[in-house]
Amino acid sequence: MWIPISDAPISCFPHFEVAAESGDWIVVDKGAPLIVHPSNGKKEPNLLEGVEALLSYEIANGASLSLVNRLDRETSGLTLIAKNKAAARQLGRAMQRRLMHKEYLAVVQGWPEWTETTCTAPILRQGDVAESRIWVKQAVHPAGKACTTVFRTERAWNTPHGPLALVRCIPETGRMHQIRVHLAHLGHPIIGDKIYGPSEECYLEYIQRGWSRELEEQLLLPRHALHACRLEFPFDEKVFTAEAPLPEDMRKLLEVQKENSVR
């Protein structure tokens, strides 16, 4: 479903698909870049307004939507939304108790030496311990909050831009930018990541001037190649599973290089 565009930002893909639904909740596959809810008073398309339009009949009959999990603007994939307050409470408790299982796919720089590894590096906001011109930027630091991410290398291949790999990411905690920070910490930043990729200057330049040929040469993609592909969650004593295929931009990157796959 497409979300009507009014005063759109520099880059926006206002699109989502329904991945699973019940009378109490809906799981949608969010496009990227797209924010999940209005922020900073800016008027731009967002996922919540799009789902509200889709469920306008249910809302007119008493439904009240609540986001259960949130994705970054540039992260695509599965987002769970409760349709009523009781469902929001139940799903919120499941989230707090870490009863939800989430999996992501990322295209990263380099060939990981590991087939599977677990990163437990603690994370905090970089500005709390060092200078950073990006307020939201996170960093690995001994004083940070504990967090854990499991990574599995699914495929690696050669490209004109150097070796790349497709990595499955399974976060066991939910810190801000956790997957992106952990992959960069392991030496394999996500393709297209303006903050944790080649240089944070990429983010600052993008904010000031928008996407450019120079940024494309450094980042390859105009958004970071991270996709929430699988979500398992309990509800009313049952476990539900939703899956979302790779979006077109990440799929094309893989298709272009599939003949050069090395493992």
pLDDT digits (tens, 9 = 90+) for 229-253: 999 999 999 999 999 999 999 988 8
CATH assignment of 100-263?
3.30.2350.10
Percent of the chain's residues with pLDDT above 90: 80
Pick the CATH number of 1-97 from 2.10.60.10, 3.30.2350.10, 1.20.120.1770, 1.10.540.10: 3.30.2350.10
What's residue 159's pLDDT? Answer: 84
Q: Which residues of 7-32 are buried (b: 16+ CB within 10 A; e: fewer)?
A: eeeeebbbbbeebbeeebbbbbbbbb
Nearest-angstrom CA–CA distance, 154 and 165: 7
Do residues 33 and 26 touch, judged by C-beta distance below 8 A?
A: no
Residue 41 confidence class, pLDDT cut points 50, 70, 90: low
Nearest-angstrom CA–CA distance, 18 and 114: 35
Residue 118 confidence class, pLDDT cut points 50, 70, 90: very high
Nearest-angstrom CA–CA distance, 244 and 214: 31
Q: What is the 3-state composition of the chain as percent helix, strand, coil, each rounded to the nearest 5?
A: 25, 30, 45
72 assigned to active site: yes
Q: Which of 7, 24, 29, 72 is catalytic?
A: 72
Specify the domain boundaries for CATH 3.30.2350.10 within the chain: 1-97, 100-263
Task: State the first-to-last Cα distance of the chain, in angstroms, to the nearest integer.
Answer: 36
Nearest-angstrom CA–CA distance, 263 and 244: 23
Residue 116 host element (H or E): strand 116-119
What's residue 178's pLDDT? Answer: 98
Determine if the peptide bond prior to 33 is cis (ω within 30°): yes
Tell me the range of 2-16, 36-50, 90-104 where mean pLDDT is highest. Answer: 90-104
Whether this model's pTM surpasses 0.85: yes
